[in-house]
């Protein structure tokens, strides 16, 4: 797997080329991973499929740079990062997003329809407004998290990381777990740890609002495939209402839970390839 780095306002982001060099023509397929994941999540999804598949380690995840001292990860920053990648590729793209990456992809497709040919979102149509809706309580949680940020999650080695992933995700194969661990760990002066920035686990200051997100979904004009897991953690009414907000969206369901790139990678890859007309 070839990688290259994209500079986005001084932050270095890792871009992974998942396809052989012989498949470098045509519309790039840009894949965006979910929270606490990395671009290696899409390696088995792209395996054996035609086209040029690319995955991005989003800021503070995988091997991409962490933000500087005093900074914080605002969800909105992920959208201009994607815009910078699309501009660097120099042509319209097909977008594929899982979970957090699906939300980024859907918002970008609404905001920049001229740069997106087709869209696929797998278990990734927005956050859910669980629990407390008070903005005051949200800010309190954010302040507490910033003051006492979580420590990095330590590992013995890559094999330990892979074993932990398989224990957490029942549908994850050993080979895929090894790839995720290989590309998702780093070493510092205290030893091995997951490479993602622990600041990602601090509650954000801004709540998710359904009406704002539905405005994005209604604005999507490109051909869209929405894929849900048979054991999705999205409540059925939310799945139904958000899917229906995208005009003409094709809706499919695959075996598995929220982590479809882990649970059904080959079937997901085939669905994506069909939708993109590869």
pLDDT over threshold 80, residue 129: no
pLDDT tens, 7-62? 999 999 999 999 999 999 999 999 999 999 999 999 999 999 999 999 999 999 99
- Indicate the pLDDT class of residue 132, thresholds 50, 70 and 90: low
Mean pLDDT across the chain = 95
Task: Please give the sequence-ordered ranges of beta strands (E in DSSP) within the chain, or none if there are none.
Answer: 2-8, 11-17, 29-32, 53-56, 93-98, 116-122, 154-155, 185-188, 191-194, 224-229, 250-254
Domain boundaries, the chain: 2-139+209-276
Query: Above pLDDT 70, what percent of the chain?
Result: 99
The CATH class given to the 2-139+209-276 domain equals alpha beta
Both structure tokens of 227: 């894929």
Contact 237, 133 (CB under 8 A): no
């Amino acid at each position: 797997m070839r990688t290259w780095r994209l500079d986005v306002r001084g932050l270095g982001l890792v871009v992974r080329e998942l396809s052989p060099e012989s498949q470098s023509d045509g519309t790039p397929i840009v894949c965006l991973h979910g929270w606490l994941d990395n671009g290696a999540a899409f390696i088995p999804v792209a395996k054996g499929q035609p086209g040029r598949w690319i995955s991005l380690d989003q800021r503070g995840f995988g091997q991409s740079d962490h933000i500087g001292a005093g900074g914080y990860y605002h969800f909105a920053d992920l959208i201009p990062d994607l815009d910078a990648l699309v501009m660097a590729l120099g042509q319209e793209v097909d977008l594929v997003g899982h979970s957090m990456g699906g939300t980024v992809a859907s918002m970008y497709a609404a905001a920049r329809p001229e740069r997106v040919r087709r869209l696929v979102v797998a278990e990734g149509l927005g956050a859910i407004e669980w629990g407390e809706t008070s903005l005051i309580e949200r800010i309190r949680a954010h302040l507490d998290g910033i003051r006492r940020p979580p420590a990095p999650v330590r590992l013995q080695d890559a094999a330990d990381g892979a074993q932990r992933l398989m224990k957490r995700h029942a549908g994850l194969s050993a080979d895929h777990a090894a790839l995720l661990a290989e590309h998702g760990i780093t070493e510092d002066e205290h030893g091995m740890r997951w490479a993602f920035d622990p600041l990602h686990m601090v509650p954000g200051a801004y709540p998710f609002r359904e009406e704002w997100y539905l405005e994005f979904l209604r604005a999507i004009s490109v051909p869209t495939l929405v894929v849900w897991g048979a054991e999705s953690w999205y409540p059925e009414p939310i799945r139904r209402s958000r899917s229906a907000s995208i005009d003409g969206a094709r809706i499919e369901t695959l075996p598995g839970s929220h982590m479809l790139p882990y649970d059904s990678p080959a079937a997901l890859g085939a669905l994506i390839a069909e939708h993109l007309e590869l």
